[in-house]
Structure 1
């Protein structure tokens, strides 16, 4: 795998790694590591297969910068409208969340060096600057994302190294909640934590010279990195904090405070990791929306920049408090967009034997049936 493909895998991983990194231990620890790990691997497998279906659809439809062109070629006008509606709803919601989170971190960072910055100004500054980077193109995002990703992983490894001496094997076997129904309801958090599929059309366009096999490996490597990070972090946190204590945490800041009691500086390292994870996720999602707008409206970069970032920024400023409750519905949107839409695209392409010699996701019809069952499971987990 060349550096360009590796960078693309890191964009996939960076898009997936977000706030879920720190939230996962609070969600899964109470059910024990065995069932928590089992569910996480299941969600990873289903999400990765859905991403490979989208990769197949992108390749066989001979792609485009965004899902707009792919949906038009595979699902017709009606499918294109539905896909665009789901995609815009999801990406705008996610960008609003990232703007809110980044502004909060930016205000705190400026305050630590004696500079007062209002929350609204922080939102505007972050959106304009980060948006300008996205508008520079996938190549710029790729190179910057590599640097941010390696710093992020270094901060995670530093944290894991420091936590290792206080690791308790007894904590790993603790189970405080034996309800499998409640375990299933956590699937939404896990599924959103692997929500990287929106960047695939952009990365296929970016790697036009790559073979189908290289693109397939790019997706698999990109999905394995967050799985590895999530599992390492889950074992580290559970091994250092009793499950009962984790169950009492209701926010990421409380989780950080749990570590800061014995290691005051660890909160700063985790804040660095959280900020970088949020930034890499913002780049991935914003790149997808930027390319979707470029693909849909066929405008120059300046107009596309305005179309991409003004609406999420206004939404974050005007409806900050209300939005946090609405964000929970993003998971349902993602199920339809990340599971059912790629299945429908691939079904149509395989039925018409379009470019049959090109890449096809492994498993054939049996895995399509699995994908449908996986999507139904995710919807059920959010409706329980």
Structure 2
């Protein structure tokens, strides 16, 4: 029971992070009603795909990674493609978290110094310090990550409650009823929104932690995702309810990052207390997501090296391999928060939707009598795979000007 609770909080904590904070940045032109509809649709799709992974994990030992499963059912090239996509996804997501977390730290230091915005040098130092401190927990052990995540998750809930108490009284019904500036933005925003339910890169870590307990893993996925969905809807209610589309879009266009979100809320509410509460919540949300994704990436690298190269590295070396590439991306591209989430969303659509549908298709042919099987049959597998492929191609459609670009 203790591990199941920890796993549920890891699922929710991993999801409630950079994706949640980026949603208001990318949904400023969509409006509250259609943002909620998009959230519900993506929650249904991604919870379904996560449960497909639970189904597939019944056919292997609890130590296996998803790359191992892909090799088992699609051969050598299936494993290679899956591992490449997973690594790109996790590194891009980790880079977004480092960029967002480092940016928040840098801005808070700048505020203490009486400076309006943080300089490049401060941003670099903040990103490095953020990675060293919180990456250190991942380098120690999974149990340490679980313990730290529980404390931070509770603190995040308290900060979230404070944000809601301060913001909800300022709601405007007129703002909530505003319609999309362009309905095509719903499609354009989907890759970034997609990452808001993105814990699938850590699901093999949870399966290993729960020692292959299918019921516990299924319960953690469902409860963790429901907690996340509820939090997202209330968060969208708060942000869309206090910010008009025109004002929000103008401020976010000037600062397409987390500080832009905090600044927009400060300007509209006229309260530094509200803005400070949002900044605190943002930091905690990023940290919990950072821990979950980093843990998944570290264990993915460990599994890949052991099973592909027959090399067992100590956890410190694995930690360097986990954090250094993403940190370098942030150092050379410090404003890449939304960009990194966009790349992550593109890779994630393949990894978290197309791949589990394909794996489940193969598993059901070879193992027709598994104890647990997700409802929906082969038709649901096909529909989810097609939706995943559409989302994969959204960034290309934006680049070719067939869809409008989201802010940032």
Is TM > 0.5 for Structure 1 vs Structure 2? Answer: yes
Task: Provide the rounded CA distance (Å) in 1 between the counterparts of 2:180 and 2:246.
Answer: 7
With 276-285 and 298-307 compared, the bigger mean Cα shift is at 298-307
For the 8 Å contact 1:65–1:292, the answer to whether it is kept is no
Aligned residue in 2 for 1:377: 390
Task: Provide the rounded CA distance (Å) in 1 between the counterparts of 2:145 and 2:367.
Answer: 35
With 110-119 and 274-283 compared, the bigger mean Cα shift is at 110-119
With 112-121 and 2-11 compared, the bigger mean Cα shift is at 112-121
Aligned residue in 2 for 1:259: 265
Change (3 A) 1:346 1:321: same
Q: 2:353 matched to 1:339?
A: yes
Q: Mind listing any 5+ residue stretches in structure 1 that lack a counterpart?
A: none
Q: 2:309 matched to 1:303?
A: no
Change (3 A) 1:236 1:325: closer
For the 8 Å contact 1:60–1:358, the answer to whether it is kept is no
With 3-12 and 297-306 compared, the bigger mean Cα shift is at 297-306
Change (3 A) 1:319 1:260: closer
Q: 2:29 matched to 1:23?
A: no
Task: Provide the rounded CA distance (Å) in 1 between the counterparts of 2:328 and 2:273.
Answer: 35
Change (3 A) 1:113 1:381: closer
Aligned residue in 2 for 1:367: 380
Deviation at 1:150, TM superposition (A): 1.4
Aligned residue in 1 for 2:171: 167
**Number of aligned pairs?**
380
Counterparts of residues 39-188 of structure 1 (less than 5 Å): 39-64=38-63, 66-111=65-110, 118-175=122-179, 177=181, 179-188=182-191
Deviation at 1:380, TM superposition (A): 4.7
TM-score when normalising by structure 1: 0.90
Deviation at 1:43, TM superposition (A): 0.9
Q: Per-residue displacement from partner, 1:141-182 (whole Å, max 9, x unpaired)?
A: 1111111111112111111112232222233222252x3323
Task: Provide the rounded CA distance (Å) in 1 between the counterparts of 2:158 and 2:340.
Answer: 34
With 245-254 and 288-297 compared, the bigger mean Cα shift is at 245-254
For the 8 Å contact 1:68–1:83, the answer to whether it is kept is yes
Aligned residue in 1 for 2:343: 329
TM-score when normalising by structure 2: 0.85
Aligned residue in 2 for 1:283: 291
Aligned residue in 2 for 1:230: 232
Change (3 A) 1:128 1:32: closer
For the 8 Å contact 1:33–1:172, the answer to whether it is kept is yes
Aligned residue in 1 for 2:200: 197
Aligned residue in 1 for 2:211: 208
Q: Mind listing any 5+ residue stretches in structure 2 that lack a counterpart?
A: 307-311, 398-402, 404-408
Where 1:293 maps in the other structure, the secondary structure is helix
For the 8 Å contact 1:65–1:294, the answer to whether it is kept is no
Task: Provide the rounded CA distance (Å) in 2 between the counterparts of 1:139 and 1:27.
Answer: 35
Task: Provide the rounded CA distance (Å) in 1 between the counterparts of 2:108 and 2:250.
Answer: 28
Task: Provide the rounded CA distance (Å) in 2 between the counterparts of 1:376 and 1:68.
Answer: 19
Deviation at 1:323, TM superposition (A): 8.4
With 94-103 and 25-34 compared, the bigger mean Cα shift is at 25-34
With 314-323 and 260-269 compared, the bigger mean Cα shift is at 314-323
Where 2:17 maps in the other structure, the secondary structure is coil
Q: Per-residue displacement from partner, 1:90-128 (whole Å, max 9, x unpaired)?
A: 111222222222222333444556699844333333323
Change (3 A) 1:102 1:331: same
Deviation at 1:222, TM superposition (A): 1.1
For the 8 Å contact 1:102–1:126, the answer to whether it is kept is yes
Task: Provide the rounded CA distance (Å) in 2 between the counterparts of 1:8 and 1:328.
Answer: 27
Q: Per-residue displacement from partner, 1:282-307 (whole Å, max 9, x unpaired)?
A: 11111011101111213222332232
Q: 2:288 matched to 1:269?
A: no
Where 1:360 maps in the other structure, the secondary structure is coil
